[in-house]
Amino acid sequence: MSVEKIDYTKELNSEQLAAVTAPDGPLLVLAAAGTGKTRTLVYRVAYLAGRDVSPERILLLTFTNRAAKEMLERAHVLVGPGISGVWGGTFHHMSNRILRRHAPLLGYQRDFTILDRDDSKTLVSNCVKELGLSGKEFPKPDILLGLFGSAVNRATSVQKVVEAKFRDGDVDPDNVAKVHGQYEGRKKKLGAMDFDDLLVNCLKLFREKPEVLGPYQAQFLHVLVDEYQDTNPIQAELVDMLAARNRNVLVVGDDFQSIYSWRGADFRNIMSFPERYKDARIYKLETNYRSVPEILEVANACIAGNPLQYQKTLRATRSSHRKPLVLRMRDGGEQARCVVDQIRNLCRSGYRMSDIAVLYRAHYHAMELQMELARERMPYVITSGVRFFEQAHIKDVCSLLRLLENPSDEMAFMRLVGFLPGVGPKTAQKLWNEMGGRFDTNDSAQRMKLKSMLKSAAKELWLGVEPILETYRAEHLDEDGGEAIFRFVEAFYGRHAVNVFEDSERRLDDIRELILYTSRFDKVQNFLSDIALLTNLDAEAENLASGDGEVVRLSTVHQAKGLEWPAVIVLWMSEGMFPSARSMEESSEGEAEERRLFYVAVTRAKDELCLCVPEVRRTRDGGMMYYLPSRFIDEIPREMIKDVRAGFI
């Protein structure tokens, strides 16, 4: 199809047509979920080409290479090979392309090296050693790189990010800042940039070298930006600078789906666009092609509770179906069984396993469901790729229980002592051999012998763990594995996790959920046997799934954004779980972003939506904690849902 043959009035709905054929000038296209955002951008590129705008004068910025490739391929089908001159790609791709031309102005060669993650980790590790800060009590390179990246994306200092990350720890922000300074210096000396530097240095180039910025401002007659609500401060400033001369900037996004503040996305960029561009025209895409009307009614009702937003109302093009199901049950165990039943019911109704997704606010919300799916030999995959008991932090804390129960468990011993400073695999193996291939935690002589072999830094940390070994039998911790894990986390592992894992809070939440789960077992040995069995069943289910690809998808809502399924089940719609109590406490904007997250979860569903509302969670002492339904459930008008109790569907 050539540009001349495109009948835009037939190819687009009236909302899309208005945005695609809009006159020059700043344009804000608010594309609600499932309304054809990508189609609108592709046809805008075709429309510009039809107005004899040279492809090299069009800049199309996206957040993934896949998105850029898809849009340009679709534009190629519409317009033909002439469109290949469009500057299309991610912000990093554009920055790299510009820096390759002008890097000498910043003191780099044009053939500067881009460090991949492993290169950056090695360089940071070397900097830590050079400063004499290495040791298992100092944050690992992955953590440090995460902190440096967070500071860049939030346009703030490393010290502030460190203070927020380690507010309950003993990491000195000044030491981290020293590592950062050393790392920056080493990169410059090597003539190398990491991923974040591409954006930082491109912005620096534009700010400091107007003779470089000017020609690009002249070249790019039109700047188009996808997923604008996800831009960070640097990306937003790059867009504004490039569009400053011609002011033909079209940004497409949905403030309702701004859910990535934790990684630097700034909600204010899209909200302030009309303030920065006083003559901006605003177009809304509200005609939804994805979901049935009943699901869209719930989506509209839930998002209406946010005060600061561009009001939009999703309108369905599909015919009526059935109301979303709000399913109330007692606890997480009953929730897991109900979800399995729901999956079976959906399959009996003609859906395939791959048509079904189970979404949740946090990874640990799905622990009981994973175990129930394993017991039922129902194949599933997790978006993160790692099942609950296969995760490193879960294996870490379980290694303590394994060694307490089985003195001959070499792997548990090696894992446990491997946490200590100066104890690598070779040293751990030597210690095991010195123990005679058996470490009886109940044997004081063996405990003394191990202590005598540890270096001072390792010995100091081990002293925090030893009381658990001494009292395990005497205080009947062998009947309360959760208490043993709790003491281990308090004495050592909590601080260790913060220094080792970039997402330590999420992992510690997982461990807290594991502690609650152990309360249903009267013996640690029974708990260990159960999880070993479930891990084997998981492996069987994975083998079954590898055949035809028919598996249920488990995913956090964050990871599900941009995806869709015929049937969606959302777990733990209980106050404090979804919305997350921590998110609500940490930010004044927490409730608004949590509501947007719920909106994203709802709008992933095409035909069927089930919202699960457990009422009770176990506490660490074996008691019960009662939960109110999520405020997001209470905000849905009763007539929009089928509200039932488990067992009465």
Cα dihedral 289, 366, 349, 353 sign: positive
Considering the candidates 604, 606, 617, 631, report the single residue annotated as catalytic: 604
The three-state secondary structure class of 382 is strand
- Of 472, 474, 479, the closest CA to residue 526 belongs to 479
Instruction: State the Cα–Cα distance between residues 454 and 460, nearest whole angstrom.
Output: 9
Q: Is position 505 annotated as part of the catalytic site?
A: no
Place of tokens 């470490």: 439
Nearest in space to 513 (alpha carbons), one of 360, 339, 315: 360
Rounded to an integer, what is the distance from CA 339 to the centroid of its chain? 23
> Nearest-CA neighbor of 408 among 445, 438, 430?
438
Quick check: helix, strand or coil at residue 306? coil
Distance of CA 443 to the CA centre of its chain: 44
**495, β-bridge pairs:** none
Known catalytic membership, residue 226: yes
Q: 235 catalytic, yes or no?
A: no
3-state secondary structure of 644: strand
DSSP assignment string, 506-522: HHHHHHHHHHHHHTT-S
Q: Out of 38, 113, 525, 559, pick the active-site residue.
A: 38
Active site residue 446: no
Question: Which one from 15, 37, 410, 608 is the annotated catalytic residue?
Answer: 37
Q: Which of 226, 396, 410, 608 is catalytic?
A: 226
- For residues 641 and 630, give the distance between their C-alpha atoms in angstroms, rounded to a whole number: 15
Residue 586 to residue 307: CA distance in whole angstroms = 19
Catalytic hit among 257, 370, 427, 441: 257
- In the residue annotation, 604 being an active-site residue is answered as yes
Q: DSSP letter at 489?
A: I
Count of CB atoms situated within 10 Å of the CB of 231: 26
Catalytic-labelled residue, pool 15, 194, 196, 227: 227
Q: How many CA atoms lie within 13 A of 76 on its CB side?
A: 11
Count the Cβ atoms, other than its own, within 10 Å of residue 344: 12
Is 3 exposed, middle or buried, given 0-12, 13-18 or 19+ CB atoms closer than 10 A?
Answer: middle
What's the CA gap between 489 and 518, in Å, rounded? 15
Count the neighbouring beta carbons within 10 Å of the beta carbon of residue 121. 16
Catalytic site positions: 37-38, 226-227, 257, 604
